[in-house]
Amino acid sequence: MINSTNLKTLKLVKNNLSSRAAIEIFRALQENMTITSLHLSENELGQDALDELIEMLNINITLRDIYMLETKITTEYKTKLAGLSNRFRKIYT
């Protein structure tokens, strides 16, 4: 996934992602500079996975759209993620 130049959208909607799997994906995305859209809706991500997501979003400058609808994240994490949205990046929770 890191070296792919063709993959622009990664759709993981309703995949029952474990926190461990999500963490590995987010770590790989730290170095990925081609994926611009990430769809995580309808997955239950644990606190450790959300922390890793936030860390990845602070590193990865290529991701533009992150969809996290119906992920049952807390207001605290919604606030943290909203702080990472800007005119170049939209996070939908």
Specify the DSSP element, H or E, that contains 92.
Answer: strand 90-92
Indicate the domain borders of the chain: 9-92
CATH number of 9-92: 3.80.10.10
Residue type, 57: L
Give 52's contacts (C-beta < 8 A, 6+ positions apart): 22, 23, 26, 27
Q: For helices 47-59 and 19-29, what crossing angle results, to 10°?
A: 10
pLDDT at 2: 54
pLDDT at 36: 96
Q: What does each of the 93 residues of the chain score in pLDDT, given as a tens digit?
A: 555 678 999 999 999 999 999 999 999 999 999 999 999 999 999 999 999 999 999 999 999 999 999 988 999 999 999 988 888 899 999
pLDDT at 86: 86
